[in-house]
């Protein structure tokens, strides 16, 4: 080990491990060439590591591995983020719903190209809009690590979003989008979802 301390600022962008820096997650629920916006990084492929006063980042110059050192002891390793990694197994991207889907099923059941976008669009900075029939805004924001949209839901949900009498209703989405009208404005709201990290 030839360790070198890295000179960093107080904030360092690291690769999201869940999506391996691609911003897109593909698990058992995402059939065929479908992927979903990563729940951990909201499609950015990275998260911000706050470098506290008792922390250092050191790189092993033999293999390039970067370690986080806390109070002088190696804690864990991170990968510094440069740009989105590409996936080769995804052509369509949507927001996660917790349900099993394929692009073919979605388009046959009325999904629009605003809700299920081409991977190339995602790489150009576009975000899909959630499909309101398949997920509610409280559920989605909670799944993506942001509980600030509470919508006074618990009295309606009693533990299961799908059983909520307001599930899939436009009124909740209008509240969630908070006045955003255009697709661009709604995408901007989606970008604001806070990170779990």
Part in contact with Zn ion (CB under 5 A); list of ranges 36-44, 49-57, 129-137, 182-190: 36-44
**Does residue 151 belong to the site contacting Zn ion (CB under 5 A)?**
no
The residue (of 38 and 172) whose beta carbon lies closer to Zn ion is 38
Q: Report in angstroms how near the CB of residue 121 gets to Zn ion at its nearest.
A: 18
The continuous run of DSSP H or E covering 56 comes out as strand 55-60
The residue (of 27 and 113) whose beta carbon lies closer to Zn ion is 27
The residue (of 25 and 92) whose beta carbon lies closer to Zn ion is 25
Closest to 13 in 3D by CA, of 3, 26, 23, 27: 23
The residue (of 14 and 164) whose beta carbon lies closer to Zn ion is 14
The residue (of 132 and 195) whose beta carbon lies closer to Zn ion is 195
DSSP state of 29: T
**Does residue 78 belong to the site contacting Zn ion (CB under 5 A)?**
no
3 to 22, contacts with Zn ion by CB under 5 A? 16, 18-19
Strands of the sheet with 34-37, listed across from one edge: 24-25, 34-37, 92-94, 117-118
Asked whether 115 and 187 are in contact (CB, 8 A), the reply is no
The residue (of 13 and 156) whose beta carbon lies closer to Zn ion is 13
Structure tokens at 96: 């996660």
Q: Report in angstroms how near the CB of residue 24 gets to Zn ion at its nearest.
A: 8
**Does residue 40 belong to the site contacting Zn ion (CB under 5 A)?**
yes
Q: Exactly one of 15, 36, 37, 38 binds Zn ion (CB under 5 A); which one?
A: 38
**Does residue 164 belong to the site contacting Zn ion (CB under 5 A)?**
no
Alpha carbon 121 to its chain centroid, in Å, reads: 16
Query: Half-sphere exposure (CA, 13 Å, Cβ side) for 106?
Result: 30
Q: Is the dihedral of CA 21, 51, 188, 145 positive or negative?
A: positive
**Does residue 85 belong to the site contacting Zn ion (CB under 5 A)?**
no
Give the 3-state secondary structure of residue 185.
helix
Q: Which residues bind Zn ion (CB under 5 A)?
A: 16, 18-19, 38, 40-41
């Amino acid at each position: 080990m030839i360790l070198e301390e890295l000179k960093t600022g107080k904030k360092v962008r690291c690769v999201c491990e869940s999506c391996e820096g691609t911003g897109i997650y593909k698990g058992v629920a995402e059939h065929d060439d479908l992927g979903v916006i990563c729940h951990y990084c909201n499609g950015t492929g990275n998260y911000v590591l706050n470098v506290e006063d008792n922390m250092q980042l050191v790189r092993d110059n033999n293999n390039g591995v970067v370690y986080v050192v806390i109070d002088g002891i190696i804690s864990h390793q991170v990968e510094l983020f440069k740009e989105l990694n590409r996936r080769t197994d995804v052509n369509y991207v949507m927001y996660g719903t917790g349900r099993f889907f394929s692009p073919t099923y979605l388009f046959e059941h009325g999904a629009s190209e605003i809700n299920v976008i081409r991977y190339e669009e995602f790489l150009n900075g576009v975000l899909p809009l959630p499909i309101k029939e398949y997920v509610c805004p409280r559920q989605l924001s909670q799944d993506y690590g942001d509980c600030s949209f509470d919508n006074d839901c618990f009295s309606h949900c009693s533990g299961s979003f799908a059983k909520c009498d307001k599930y899939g209703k436009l009124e909740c989405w209008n509240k969630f989008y908070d006045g955003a009208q255009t697709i661009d404005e709604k995408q901007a709201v989606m970008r604001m979802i806070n990170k779990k990290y």
